[in-house]
C-alpha cells in the first residue's frame, strides 16, 4: 500500500499537538450543539434556509456581483476585481503606496493567507501587524494557521507563553488573561501608529453594499478607527442578496463556530468616513477576489462555495482531529480543505493535492454540522471520481476494484469465490493474498470466513427432507457449526 | 455512505412480501446476521424472496473513485432485484448506497431513473420494521447491557432513532450510549487500509468510549463498523462482543419462546 501523506503526517504528529487539537475540537463541537439545541427546537429548517440562500446566490452570482458592485460604489467604496493572487497582491501594494502607508494593521483574513500577503508586503518594505491574537502568535512564530477560526488550534498555552517570552513580551506566564493583557497593550500602540487597515470580509450585501466583519476581539474595529485607508480582500462568493439574509447567516455562523449567539463584534461597514463623522478611514477599497473560485463555480463541486468559514466541519472531523490542520498542506484544512484545497490550486496542480479527497472515512459528520448543509461527502466522492478518470497515479487505489467488479457482476463466479475464500481462514496474516488484507491484519484480527453459509441454510429450509437436503445440511453444518439446520 | 434525507419510497405491500439483500459482508463473514434477518422478518409474517444472483451494493468501488466499476455492480444489482417489492438490507451503509450513493454514481447516466427507482424500494431493516411495518414494541427478553453504536451511514436516515426506540422496548435490555456518539469508528471501507494509522487511532478512541460503558456487547446497524471495532479490540487482547440489531431482536424472540431453540 502506498503510504498516504496525511496518514504519515498524523503518525508523526507530536502527542501534545494532537491533544490540543482534540480538546479544542471536542469543546467547539459540544458548544455548537448546545447553542443550537438550546436556541431552536429544530435547527434543521434554519440550516436548510441558509443553504438555499447561499446556493441561490452562487447560482446567480454574476447578477449579485454586479448589484454588489454598484451598491458599494453608491456608498463611495472603490471596488476592484482581482482574478488571481498576483493581481491582488500588486493592487494592495499600489493602493498602500498611493496613500503613503508604511505600517498596516491586519485583521484575520483567510483570503490573504491564500496569497501569502504578509510575506509579500514585508518584502516590499511594509510593516504588517496581525491584530487577531491567534494570528499574531502565528506571525511571531512564522507559523501558519491550522484552523479557519482558531488559527492556533495546534498550540497550547505553554507554547504561547514561550513565544511571548522569546519575543520580549514579558516573562514566561501561561495564564490566558496575562497573555491577552500583554497582547492588548502591545496592540494598542500598533493601532495608533497604523496607516491602513487590511481586513477580509465575512459577507457583502448586494442590496445595500454593506461589508460585514465578524470578530470576537474587536480588532477589526480598532484597526479601522485609527487608519486613513481600509482595504478589504473578499472572495467573490461572499455576497448575500439582501441585508435580511444576514439575520439567518450571522446567527448560524457564530453558533456553529463557537456556540455564541453572535460574535462579540459584528461590524456593518457602509463606506468610508462620511463628512462630519469623527473618525474612520477616508478611503475604502474592496477587492473582490477570484483566485480560481470561478473555476470551482463551474465545476461539479460548486456547493463548497456556500461555505461561511465557521470551522464546524473541521471541529467534528475525526480525521482532522488525528492529523491537525497542517496535514492538509493548504490554507483551508479539514473536510472543507479536502474539497477546496485541490480546487483552489491551478488546475495543473490538482494531481499534487488529489490525495486530500481520499482522506476521509465518508462518515458524514461534516455535512451534519454544516450551517449551509454542504454535501461534503458527495463532493469528496466526485473528486475521487475525477482523480480516477484523470488517471492520477498518486492517489490510485491499490485495491483490485475492476477485478472485484467483474466478480460482483457474475453471480456464479461470486458464489465460487465465496466458497473458495475459506482458504483465508487457514493462512497466517503475513501470507494473506492481498496487501489490503495484510495491512488490515497488522492492527486487527480478521473475522472467520463463512462464505456461502447463509445461502446453504436458506436453500435447505425451503426444501425440507430428501437427499438434497441432507447434503445441504452437511454443507451448512460445516460452514456454520452449531446452526440449527 | 452519506447523510441524506429520507427518500420517497414505495410503501411495503400489505402481504409483506419483500426481497432480502444480505450484503457481501454477511455473505462472506456474518451468515448469522443474514439468518437472524430472515428469522425476525418471518416472525413478523413477511414472505422473503432471496435473489440468489445478488452480490454486493457496489460501494467499495464507488467510495474508491472507480465509478465505472461501481456502475457495473450497481447495474447487476438493479437487474437482480427486479420488480416492485421492497428491498430490505441489514446494513445502514448498503441501504444508504442504494438510496443515495447510487444516484450520485449515475448522475450523468441514461439509466439514472431505474437506479433511483431501485433506491426508492430500499430499506434498512430496522427502519423497515419500525417505520415500514409499524412495529413499536418488541416481544421476548434479553438480560444484557448493550452499548449502542450509531453507525455513520445511518446519519440522516431514520435508522438510529428507530433502532433506539425498538431496542429499548425489549424486556431486560439496557441500552447505553457512549460519549462522542457522532465520532466515526474509522472503518470507512478502503480507508481502513489506505489510512491505517488514522483509522486505527479513530477506532481506539471509539473502543475506549464503548468499553467505558462496561457493556455485554456493542450493538449496531452495520457489521462493517463492528468488524473493525472487534478486530482492533481482539488484536489488543481486549474482549469486545459485537451484535447486529437483528441478532439482538432474534435472541430476544428466542428467549421469549417465540422461535425454536438455537
Per-residue pLDDT at A475 exceeds 70: no
Tell me phi and psi for residue A212, to 5 degrees.
-110, 130
Preferred mutation among A389, A409, A434, A435 to probe B, highest tally of B CBs within 10 A = A409
- pLDDT at position A404, please? 87
Cβ <8 Å between A384 and B26: no
Mean local confidence (pLDDT), A13-32: 97
Of the partner residues A26, A368, A402, the one whose CB lies closest to the CB of residue B69:
A402
Contact list in A for residue B109 (CB cut-off 8 A) is none
Contact list in A for residue B56 (CB cut-off 8 A) is 408
Residue A117 host element (H or E): helix A117-123
Contact list in B for residue A17 (CB cut-off 8 A) is none
Chain A (370-409) residues lying within 8 Å, Cβ to Cβ, of chain B: 375, 377-378, 381-382, 384-388, 395, 397-399, 401-402, 404-409
Per-residue pLDDT at A482 exceeds 70: no
Mean local confidence (pLDDT), A172-194: 93
Per-residue pLDDT at A477 exceeds 70: no
A154 HSE (CA, 13 A, CB side) = 22
Residue A211 host element (H or E): strand A211-215
Chain B (163-182) residues lying within 8 Å, Cβ to Cβ, of chain A: 180, 182
Of the partner residues A361, A409, A418, the one whose CB lies closest to the CB of residue B28:
A418
Three-class SS state of B170:
coil
Percentage with pLDDT > 70 across chain A: 94
C-alpha cell at B241: 462482543
Contact list in B for residue A443 (CB cut-off 8 A) is 196, 200, 231-232, 235
Q: Mean pLDDT, chain A, as a whole number?
A: 92
Per-residue pLDDT at B16 exceeds 90: no
Three-class SS state of A35:
helix
How many CB pairs (< 8 A) connect A and B?
228
Whole-number Å distance between alpha carbons of A109 and A118: 11
Per-residue pLDDT at A67 exceeds 80: yes
Confidence of residue A172 (pLDDT cuts 50, 70, 90): very high
Whole-number Å distance between alpha carbons of A326 and A342: 15
Per-residue pLDDT at A265 exceeds 60: yes
> Are A222 and A131 in contact, with CB atoms under 8 Å apart?
yes
Minimum CA–CA partner of A370 in chain B: B3
> Are A102 and A195 in contact, with CB atoms under 8 Å apart?
yes
Contact list in B for residue A480 (CB cut-off 8 A) is 31-32
Cβ <8 Å between B55 and A408: yes
Query: What Cα–Cα distance (Å) separates residue A224 from each residue in A87, A131, A301, B9?
Result: 24, 11, 36, 56
pLDDT (tens digit per residue) in A191-215: 999 999 999 999 999 999 999 999 9
Cβ <8 Å between A436 and B180: no
Of the partner residues B69, B196, B232, the one whose CB lies closest to the CB of residue A405:
B69
Contact list in B for residue A407 (CB cut-off 8 A) is 55
Using a 10 angstrom Cβ sphere, with 0-12 exposed, 13-18 middle and 19 or more buried, the burial of residue A179 is buried
Chain B (10-69) residues lying within 8 Å, Cβ to Cβ, of chain A: 22, 24, 26-32, 34-35, 38, 50, 52-56, 58, 60-67, 69
Contact list in B for residue A10 (CB cut-off 8 A) is 195, 197-198, 201
How many Cβ atoms are within 10 Å of B108's Cβ, its own excluded? Answer: 8
Mean local confidence (pLDDT), A299-311: 97
- pLDDT at position A433, please? 75
Whole-number Å distance between alpha carbons of A110 and A89: 14
Minimum CA–CA partner of B31 in chain A: A454
Of the partner residues B55, B76, B198, the one whose CB lies closest to the CB of residue A323:
B198
Closest by CA to A138, choosing from A127, A152, A149, is: A152
pTM, 2 dp: 0.94
Per-residue pLDDT at A1 exceeds 70: no
Residue with cell 514585508: A122
Beta strands in B94-184 (DSSP E): 122-124, 141-149, 171-176
- pLDDT at position B2, please? 45
Per-residue pLDDT at B173 exceeds 90: yes
Minimum CA–CA partner of B260 in chain A: A484
Cβ <8 Å between A7 and B191: no
Contact list in A for residue B200 (CB cut-off 8 A) is 443-444
Does B116 lie at the interface with A, CB-CB under 8 angstroms? no
CA angle, residues A149, A150, A156, in degrees to nearest 5 = 175
Of the partner residues A386, A395, A409, the one whose CB lies closest to the CB of residue B72:
A409
Max intra-chain CA distance, chain A: 103
Does A442 lie at the interface with B, CB-CB under 8 angstroms? yes
Preferred mutation among B4, B64, B149 to probe A, highest tally of A CBs within 10 A = B64
Q: What is the DSSP string of B174-213?
A: EEE--SSTTS--S-TTTHHHHSHHHHHHHHHHHHHHHHTT
> Are A326 and A144 in contact, with CB atoms under 8 Å apart?
yes
Contact list in A for residue B202 (CB cut-off 8 A) is 318-319, 322, 361
Mean local confidence (pLDDT), A7-14: 96
Q: What is the distance, to the nearest Å, from the Cα of residue A261 to the centroid of all Cα atoms in its chain? A: 22
Pairing state between β B17-20 and A239-240: unpaired
Contact residues for B114 (Cβ-Cβ < 8 A; gap 6+): B78
Whole-number Å distance between alpha carbons of A389 and A350: 13
Of the partner residues B186, B231, B260, the one whose CB lies closest to the CB of residue A445:
B231
- pLDDT at position A485, please? 31
Contact residues for B32 (Cβ-Cβ < 8 A; gap 6+): A480, A483, B247
pLDDT (tens digit per residue) in A366-403: 999 999 999 999 999 999 999 999 988 764 456 788 88
Does A44 lie at the interface with B, CB-CB under 8 angstroms? no
Confidence of residue A233 (pLDDT cuts 50, 70, 90): very high
Cβ <8 Å between B195 and A448: no
Looking at per-residue confidence, does A345 or A375 come out higher?
Answer: A375
Q: What is the ipTM of this complex?
A: 0.95
Contact list in A for residue B156 (CB cut-off 8 A) is 364, 367-368
Whole-number Å distance between alpha carbons of A310 and A259: 10
Per-residue pLDDT at A247 exceeds 80: yes
Per-residue pLDDT at B205 exceeds 90: yes
Contact list in B for residue A484 (CB cut-off 8 A) is 260-262
Chain A (52-71) residues lying within 8 Å, Cβ to Cβ, of chain B: none
Q: Which of A200-214, A397-411, B214-228 has the lowest mean pLDDT?
A: A397-411
Minimum CA–CA partner of A8 in chain B: B197
Per-residue pLDDT at B3 exceeds 60: no
Contact residues for A362 (Cβ-Cβ < 8 A; gap 6+): A377, A380, A381, B1, B2, B63, B152, B188, B189, B191
Mean local confidence (pLDDT), A58-72: 98
Minimum CA–CA partner of B261 in chain A: A484
Contact residues for A149 (Cβ-Cβ < 8 A; gap 6+): A28, A257, A258, A309, A310, A311
Per-residue pLDDT at B100 exceeds 60: yes
Cβ <8 Å between B65 and A443: no
Amino acid at each position: 500500500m502506498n503510504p498516504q501523506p496525511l496518514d504519515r503526517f498524523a503518525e508523526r504528529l507530536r502527542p501534545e499537538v494532537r491533544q490540543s487539537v482534540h480538546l479544542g475540537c471536542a469543546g467547539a463541537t459540544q458548544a455548537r450543539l448546545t447553542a443550537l439545541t438550546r436556541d431552536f427546537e429544530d435547527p434543521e429548517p434554519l440550516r436548510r434556509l441558509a443553504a438555499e440562500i447561499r446556493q441561490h446566490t452562487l447560482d446567480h452570482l454574476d447578477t449579485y456581483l454586479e448589484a454588489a458592485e454598484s451598491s458599494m460604489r453608491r456608498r463611495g467604496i472603490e471596488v476592484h476585481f482581482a482574478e488571481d493572487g498576483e493581481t491582488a497582491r500588486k493592487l494592495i501594494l499600489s493602493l498602500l503606496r498611493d496613500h503613503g502607508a508604511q505600517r498596516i494593521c491586519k485583521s484575520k483574513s483567510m483570503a490573504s493567507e491564500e496569497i501569502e500577503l504578509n510575506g509579500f508586503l514585508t518584502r516590499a518594505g511594509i510593516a504588517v501587524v496581525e491584530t487577531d491574537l491567534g494570528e499574531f502568535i502565528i506571525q511571531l512564530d512564522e507559523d501558519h494557521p491550522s484552523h479557519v477560526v482558531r488559527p492556533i488550534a495546534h498550540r497550547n498555552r505553554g507554547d504561547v507563553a514561550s513565544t511571548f517570552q522569546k519575543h520580549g513580551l514579558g516573562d514566561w506566564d501561561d495564564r490566558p488573561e496575562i497573555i491577552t493583557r500583554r497582547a492588548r497593550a502591545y496592540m494598542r500602540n500598533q493601532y495608533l501608529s497604523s496607516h491602513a487597515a487590511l481586513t477580509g470580509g465575512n459577507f457583502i450585501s448586494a442590496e445595500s453594499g454593506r461589508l460585514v466583519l465578524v470578530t470576537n476581539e474587536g480588532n477589526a474595529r480598532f484597526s479601522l478607527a485609527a487608519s486613513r485607508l481600509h482595504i478589504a480582500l473578499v472572495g467573490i462568493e461572499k455576497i448575500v442578496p439582501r441585508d435580511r439574509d444576514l439575520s439567518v447567516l450571522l446567527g448560524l455562523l457564530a453558533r456553529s463556530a463557537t456556540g455564541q449567539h453572535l460574535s462579540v463584534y459584528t461590524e456593518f461597514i457602509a463606506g468610508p468616513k462620511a463628512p462630519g463623522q469623527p473618525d474612520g478611514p477616508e478611503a475604502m477599497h474592496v477587492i473582490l477576489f477570484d483566485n480560481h473560485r470561478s473555476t470551482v463555480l463551474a465545476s461539479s463541486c460548486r456547493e463548497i462555495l456556500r461555505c461561511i468559514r465557521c470551522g464546524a466541519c473541521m471541529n467534528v472531523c475525526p480525521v482532522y482531529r488525528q492529523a491537525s490542520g497542517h496535514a492538509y498542506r493548504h490554507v483551508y484544512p479539514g473536510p472543507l480543505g479536502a474539497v477546496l484545497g485541490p480546487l483552489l490550486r491551478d488546475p495543473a496542480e490538482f494531481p499534487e493535492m488529489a490525495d486530500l479527497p481520499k482522506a476521509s472515512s465518508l462518515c458524514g459528520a461534516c455535512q451534519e454540522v454544516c450551517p449551509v448543509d454542504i454535501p461534503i461527502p458527495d463532493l469528496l466522492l466526485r473528486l475521487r471520481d475525477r482523480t480516477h478518470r484523470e488517471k492520477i497515479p498518486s492517489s490510485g487505489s491499490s485495491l483490485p476494484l475492476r477485478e472485484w467488479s467483474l466478480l460482483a457482476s457474475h453471480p456464479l463466479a461470486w458464489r465460487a469465490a465465496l466458497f473458495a475464500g475459506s482458504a483465508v481462514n487457514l493462512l497466517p496474516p503475513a501470507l494473506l493474498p492481498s496487501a489490503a488484507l495484510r495491512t488490515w491484519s497488522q492492527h486487527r484480527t480478521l473475522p472467520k470466513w463463512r462464505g456461502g453459509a447463509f445461502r446453504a441454510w436458506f436453500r435447505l429450509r425451503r426444501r425440507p427432507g430428501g437427499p438434497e437436503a441432507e447434503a445441504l445440511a452437511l454443507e451448512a453444518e460445516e460452514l456454520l457449526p452449531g446452526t440449527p439446520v | 455512505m452519506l447523510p441524506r434525507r429520507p427518500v420517497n419510497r414505495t410503501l411495503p405491500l400489505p402481504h409483506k412480501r419483500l426481497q432480502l439483500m444480505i450484503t457481501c459482508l454477511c455473505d462472506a463473514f456474518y451468515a448469522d446476521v443474514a439468518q437472524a434477518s430472515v428469522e425476525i422478518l418471518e416472525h413478523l409474517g413477511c414472505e422473503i424472496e432471496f435473489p440468489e444472483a445478488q452480490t454486493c451494493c457496489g460501494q467499495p468501488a464507488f467510495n474508491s473513485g472507480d465509478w465505472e466499476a461501481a456502475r457495473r455492480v450497481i447495474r447487476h444489482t438493479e437487474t437482480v432485484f427486479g420488480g416492485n417489492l421492497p428491498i430490505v438490507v441489514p446494513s445502514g451503509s448498503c441501504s444508504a448506497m442504494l438510496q443515495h450513493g447510487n444516484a450520485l454514481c449515475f448522475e450523468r447516466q441514461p439509466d439514472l431513473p431505474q437506479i433511483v427507482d431501485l433506491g426508492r424500494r430500499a430499506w434498512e431493516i430496522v427502519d423497515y420494521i419500525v417505520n415500514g411495518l409499524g412495529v413499536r414494541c418488541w416481544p421476548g427478553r434479553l438480560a444484557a447491557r448493550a452499548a449502542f453504536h450509531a453507525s455513520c451511514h445511518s446519519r440522516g436516515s431514520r435508522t438510529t432513532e428507530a433502532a433506539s426506540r425498538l431496542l429499548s422496548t425489549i424486556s431486560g435490555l439496557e441500552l447505553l450510549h457512549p460519549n462522542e456518539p457522532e465520532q466515526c469508528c474509522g472503518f470507512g471501507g478502503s480507508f481502513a487500509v489506505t489510512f491505517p494509522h488514522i483509522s486505527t487511532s479513530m477506532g481506539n478512541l471509539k473502543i475506549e468510549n464503548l468499553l467505558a460503558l462496561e457493556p455485554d456487547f456493542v450493538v449496531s446497524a452495520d457489521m462493517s463498523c463492528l468488524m473493525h471495532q472487534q478486530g482492533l479490540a481482539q488484536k489488543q487482547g481486549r474482549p469486545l462482543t459485537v451484535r447486529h440489531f437483528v441478532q439482538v431482536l432474534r435472541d430476544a424472540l428466542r428467549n421469549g419462546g417465540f422461535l425454536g431453540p438455537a
